[in-house]
Structure 1
């Protein structure tokens, strides 16, 4: 008898502002996954949080048809528990839900309760990395260098005071970001106090916690991390931005940013940033995968951690799969590695005692 295929449930879409990015990532993951190893189950989450089994994509995969570059969320509504569990079949869930309610530990917590293995960070690591303010606190305690920053919490902190303090302590220009968001959604670069008020209000559309960071003149360097307790890292890649900063338009619309893989760095700088990426991954309790973003202030402070993304983009222009391809792991093999790591975590956690 042949060995049954592993069910790989690919979750995409979601309720966050990064819904469209997720739909692009999912199309390319489904196209690249080895159909001889997996029964692929595409499940889209619409912007109201309703789950849909995309039978049209399943049929296209079975027929060997090409998928569109961006999936839509369609198909019959399904119960999350029923679609992620199947009696007698081994299932792994691959969440490609960027941003809140997908990358922040919420879906991961649900899958833990359902006792289903899933790719990527657990509840704590996902929540920490999604919340830029808390991630900065943890990595600072771990001794990882980063830009100067302040945190503003709506309803708790005085907005006028934080504006004055930010200008005094961080100088201008300042970057303003919602703490729990990705893909540069809601991010502004401001050069005056009036712009700072506007930028904070924009960030508050997406979250009630806002991070204000000093602007640095530095190169933007990214490192891919893959593993659990002993993570591997890629050679770093560099982003040459097409605007004031690496914004949503650069990443997903215009493609104006230039990606250099590997980044032109000397051997000592490469070794240092790879070590720092692994250190950040470990300090934030990450597992499976992450893309760790740095600023490189040549002639100044050197490496400064920017942020850690636990569900990096998997689009054709995304750095994470490109960096691993440059490091010798092709896209389909990267998916296999992620599934293997997910099962490793699941088996380890399943072995823990529940007895008093």
Structure 2
């Protein structure tokens, strides 16, 4: 059987560049090489696309950029003179059958690059343009979840323009709407980049200033005494959810360092909850997935309030991490789908969605 040509795309211009490198190196290591030819394409922090062929460790450690072959042409735009694919120096041409973008954050998970893939008319892993952009924008996503009746913690938001115009007024309004502790998040970013926790007004102001480095809008959420639980979701029209897993952060909350740099954070899989709560959370994860018209994969994060056992949807991640300590593949492994089989399923879902769209 002829192998399928997969272009694994990693890096990107967002603050989650290094996370993407780790995810891509892991996928490359575990993808079924008997079934797929893998072509690795990196995007630098400046936005340059480069073809890399070599030791996968160089992707993870960042050396791929200086070792890339700059004489290879990557063509994803259909033109009269060029086919879509990879053109090598010896005139060899490799058609791309499916794209596997392992890009986290802005320019990779927000619908931007998905729009390019739609223009290229090539199957690609993950959510489409709309669901990617809604899932990436935490503020818009919260409004969708609210419309769907999914419970969330109390929240409000502010903008860079409003905060710079009248800082004290904005801080007063936040304190009137929600209580400390307050979590501060950029509206458009993932992997807990730019997130902080404020216990007083001074920390709130500093946290907003930090979050505004990453986005012009900031979400403020009321902190609750809660367990953090996550569920992996897989599918297109037919959707299934993994068992839930619980996170015990190594720090006060599950920030960027606790997720990717400090391996002392504990992942309890499956979460220690009863069957009724497990099923309720799984059903809520599927509802959240469908509410933004997601496809392929997503990870849905929840809070379980310790005093009341009330469940709140926190957020959805349409391109969750694939590192060796990432929850998304670990949850599926605990549910019965191995890492390699999971990659295979995602590629098949991408091809099926594309074929379904083309047959309409």
Q: Sort the TM-score into its range (normalised by shorter chain).
A: over 0.9
Preserved CA contact (<8 Å) 1:152 1:159: no
Q: 2:30: which partner in 1?
A: 32
Aligned to 2:45, what secondary structure does the other structure show? coil
Q: 1:271: which partner in 2?
A: 279
Partner of residue 308 from structure 2, selected from 300, 320, 327: 300
Q: 1:211: which partner in 2?
A: 219
Q: 1:178: which partner in 2?
A: 186
Once the two structures are TM-superposed, the CA of residue 285 in structure 1 deviates from its matched residue by: 1.1
The alignment covers a number of residue pairs equal to 343
Q: Provide the C-alpha distance between the structure 2 equivalents of 1:203 and 1:159, rounded to a whole number of angstroms.
A: 15
Once the two structures are TM-superposed, the CA of residue 282 in structure 1 deviates from its matched residue by: 0.2
Aligned to 1:9, what secondary structure does the other structure show? strand
Partner of residue 116 from structure 1, selected from 98, 118, 122: 122
Preserved CA contact (<8 Å) 2:84 2:96: no
Once the two structures are TM-superposed, the CA of residue 162 in structure 1 deviates from its matched residue by: 2.5
Aligned to 2:140, what secondary structure does the other structure show? helix
Question: Pairwise mapping of residues 126-165 of structure 1 onto structure 2 (< 5 A)?
Answer: 126-156=132-162, 158-165=166-173
Preserved CA contact (<8 Å) 2:183 2:221: yes
Once the two structures are TM-superposed, the CA of residue 152 in structure 1 deviates from its matched residue by: 1.1
Runs of 4+ aligned structure 1 residues displaced above 6 Å come to none
Aligned to 1:53, what secondary structure does the other structure show? strand
Asked if 1:6 corresponds to 2:12, the answer is no
Q: Provide the C-alpha distance between the structure 2 equivalents of 1:264 and 1:80, rounded to a whole number of angstroms.
A: 48
Q: Provide the C-alpha distance between the structure 2 equivalents of 1:184 and 1:108, rounded to a whole number of angstroms.
A: 22
Partner of residue 254 from structure 2, selected from 246, 253, 266: 246
Q: Provide the C-alpha distance between the structure 1 equivalents of 2:194 and 2:59, rounded to a whole number of angstroms.
A: 28
Q: Provide the C-alpha distance between the structure 1 equivalents of 2:95 and 2:186, rounded to a whole number of angstroms.
A: 40
1:171-200 Cα deviation digits (max 9, x unpaired): 111000001111111001011111111111
Q: Provide the C-alpha distance between the structure 1 equivalents of 2:59 and 2:123, rounded to a whole number of angstroms.
A: 28
Q: Provide the C-alpha distance between the structure 1 equivalents of 2:126 and 2:183, rounded to a whole number of angstroms.
A: 28
Question: What RMSD over aligned residues (CA atoms) do the two structures have, in Å?
Answer: 1.8
Q: 1:63: which partner in 2?
A: none
Aligned to 2:225, what secondary structure does the other structure show? coil
Q: 2:264: which partner in 1?
A: 256
1:148-167 Cα deviation digits (max 9, x unpaired): 11121222565433311211
Q: Provide the C-alpha distance between the structure 1 equivalents of 2:94 and 2:8, rounded to a whole number of angstroms.
A: 19
TM-score (norm: length of structure 1)? 0.92
Partner of residue 42 from structure 1, selected from 29, 33, 40: 40
Partner of residue 106 from structure 1, selected from 108, 112, 121: 112
Asked if 1:81 corresponds to 2:76, the answer is yes
Q: Provide the C-alpha distance between the structure 1 equivalents of 2:162 and 2:116, rounded to a whole number of angstroms.
A: 30
Q: 1:324: which partner in 2?
A: 332
Give the stretch that moved more between structures: 278-287 or 87-96. 87-96
Q: 2:14: which partner in 1?
A: 16
Which consecutive unaligned segments of at least 5 residues does structure 2 have?
78-82, 87-92
Give the stretch that moved more between structures: 103-112 or 72-81. 72-81
